[in-house]
Structure 1
């Protein structure tokens, strides 16, 4: 405690002001999500009566009960979990294998392939041609339409390729002397060494797949196949009459349906699961973010 006080005394006025400014910015950043949580635990009438709203004056779980009783919520949750788990696995497998191959200067046509990859970062086929390709492959109204069209992120691929080029060639040569082939070198040497780096990009991919909604909006017409983000969009933009009926039946004739509480509860349910993944990957994320920043 004394060390903290002594450090604070030794801090310059600029550092103190900087700490205060950063603390204010942190509060400004955190408060919107905090407000969503407490409104979801209360109701619209209470949040309108007590302003500013810092804690739930009326504890009401009607929003969560309404969402949990909607069968389409669990269908959308299952779709999102499948797309996140399988999609992230496909993303990482293609990214790791492609970046490993492209990191080898002996690859025939390596510059051509890299040029084509860079070309896709600057130009795309457009929405309609992409839709026609997806339709011709029979992926419309299919969960794979949310996985295969975005199976590879070229920006992440280039970063991984640059990272693999930092590995000493002697490491690969020593493995080949022991009889290892390319697959053994990649999955038994490169991947274990790159665990923090791979975990970082796995988190990036997982967040993208969890928040997937654009491809679902374009290629998915069946409500039973819609992901969680489309379900959230429907609740926020056009409140479902079925949800209103369910909420009214739980509250009884004396109660009143609070649309905003149900909407905020949906946001919390759609956000918290992916937030729970971060603590397990935090130690790898910090190491992976520092890869390449320190030269030994």
Structure 2
């Protein structure tokens, strides 16, 4: 391919590849470093001996993490919050985005303006907390999955994707006696799998990494998500050594905490890293098509 290019095009192509390789290395290396550090001797981490591969391979940090029963409870709760929350997000986003994409939907411009208004102005944390309390959702699963049921940004992307579906399909379906709901379920949604996969990834990652809402709205530890349990584990491990009598014991404890931090990062991130490759093929297509028209 390079043989058919001019000298300037060749230089531009090589330069692009070089920049992309550098950016890829900058993004991949921190992940490899965290993974290697989590399997290494904490003393080698503190000494800065970890560069790419684990040093003095150990599983102590992971054993400490999974010996804590709260981690399994947190995994269970986070999976429930992520699956249920993502399903609610997709349902409401589709219910809003599809009507707004229809040219025959009266008042869609006004409704879109009202929806976009919420992107720039909100009541704030305290009014939101009071609302959740008055609705009786404190310390329940609904306090985690309902307040963020709709992302306006994602709705706009989804609406734009729906607008790219040919109008002739709807006209042909109407001639065959297809109702609006049937057209949405049997024609629009199967054609929209790329954007649905992208929204699943966006919403799923958001729910998996969420901790702030749980920190505010939940009091029962049996309902805590994984992120809160891991935060508590690090704090408790960090504080448990503060009263140690000997400086050597304290130094050893701090080194163990250093290894534990990296193991916690891997444990919390691994499910999403596993999920991403299965949705990656839809990712670019869904976002690009969803951004073609405003």
TM superposition score category, shorter chain reference: 0.7 to 0.9
Alignment of 1:3-14 (within 5 A): 12-14=10-12
- How many residue pairs align between the two structures? 281
Alignment of 1:9-88 (within 5 A): 12-49=10-47, 51-88=49-86
* Secondary structure of 2:195 counterpart: helix
Displacement of 1:95 in angstroms is 0.6
Q: 1:222 to 1:205 in 2, by over 3 A?
A: same
- The answer to which of 128-137 and 174-183 deviates more is 174-183
Asked if the contact 1:66/1:243 (under 8 Å) is kept, the reply is no
In the alignment, the residues of structure 2 paired with residue 15 and residue 102 of structure 1 have an alpha-carbon distance, to the nearest angstrom, of 41
In the alignment, the residues of structure 1 paired with residue 54 and residue 148 of structure 2 have an alpha-carbon distance, to the nearest angstrom, of 41
Displacement of 1:134 in angstroms is 0.7
Q: In structure 1, what is the equivalent of residue 186 of structure 2?
A: 188
Q: 1:163 to 1:21 in 2, by over 3 A?
A: closer
TM-score normalized by structure 2? Answer: 0.86
Corresponding residue to 2:165 among 164, 167, 170:
167
Q: In structure 2, what is the equivalent of residue 110 of structure 1?
A: 108
In the alignment, the residues of structure 1 paired with residue 4 and residue 279 of structure 2 have an alpha-carbon distance, to the nearest angstrom, of 31
Displacement of 1:294 in angstroms is 7.8
Alignment of 1:131-170 (within 5 A): 131-170=129-168
In the alignment, the residues of structure 2 paired with residue 197 and residue 148 of structure 1 have an alpha-carbon distance, to the nearest angstrom, of 22
Asked if the contact 1:199/1:284 (under 8 Å) is kept, the reply is yes
Displacement of 1:87 in angstroms is 0.8
Is the aligned partner of 1:232 residue 2:240? no
Asked if the contact 2:39/2:59 (under 8 Å) is kept, the reply is yes
TM-score normalized by structure 1? Answer: 0.85
Asked if the contact 2:49/2:55 (under 8 Å) is kept, the reply is no
* Long gaps (5+) in structure 1: 245-252
* Long gaps (5+) in structure 2: 242-248
Asked if the contact 1:75/1:224 (under 8 Å) is kept, the reply is yes
Q: 1:14 to 1:129 in 2, by over 3 A?
A: same
